[in-house]
Amino acid sequence: MKRSTIITLVLVVLLAGTSAFAQLAGKVNVPGDYPTLNAALADLNAKGVAEGGVSIIVAPENPVTAPLGGFAITTKTVTAQSPVTIDGGGNLIVNAAGATIESLFRTSGTEYITITNFATAEGQMPKMEKADLPSVVRPNR
């Protein structure tokens, strides 16, 4: 192989590797950037939040089913300078079939999280901010 080809391959691998582990930032669309809210939150937990924060936007007409135990938000990179907003787009959110608990979102040691614009079978969920929430978020009854 030519030396220039090897250098090009090394640069491509290095650049691809750094973007694969970049923290989430700006506006993230579901579907679009991620196929499901679960996939977006898994990536958020794995990669964290960049300075300036991230808004995860679920497009209208995309009902959401929370996994057993609810969506877990466990990243430790959420701060006042790197907040997380999850906008449900007015979509219905329900528990997985067979769920034995009612939680839809769970947080672990994180603050500066806003969850808004989801509907439940009981009606529209109010805007929720981590500062106002227990560690388990439940739908209103």
pLDDT value, residue 90:
92
- Give me the residue spans of the domains in the chain: 24-137
pLDDT value, residue 53:
95
pLDDT digit string, tens, across residues 33-91: 999 999 999 999 999 999 999 999 999 999 898 887 788 898 888 888 999 999 999 99
Q: What is the pTM of this model?
A: 0.72
- Residue 106 vs residue 40, higher pLDDT: 40
Q: Residue 14 phi/psi, 5° resolution?
A: -65, -45
- Residues of the chain by 3-state class (helix, strand, coil), percent to 5: 25, 40, 40
Q: Which of 119, 61, 131 is nearest to 93 (CA)?
A: 119
pLDDT value, residue 31:
96
Instruction: Decide: residue 30, CB within 10 A, 0-12 exposed, 13-18 middle, 19+ buried.
Output: buried
First-to-last alpha carbon distance for the chain, in angstroms, is 67
Query: Which is it for strands 123-124 and 113-120: parallel, antiparallel or unpaired?
Result: antiparallel
pLDDT digit string, tens, across residues 1-23: 565 555 544 444 444 443 456 89
Residue that is written with structure tokens 């839809």 in the block: 104
Residues 6+ apart with CB under 8 A from 16: none
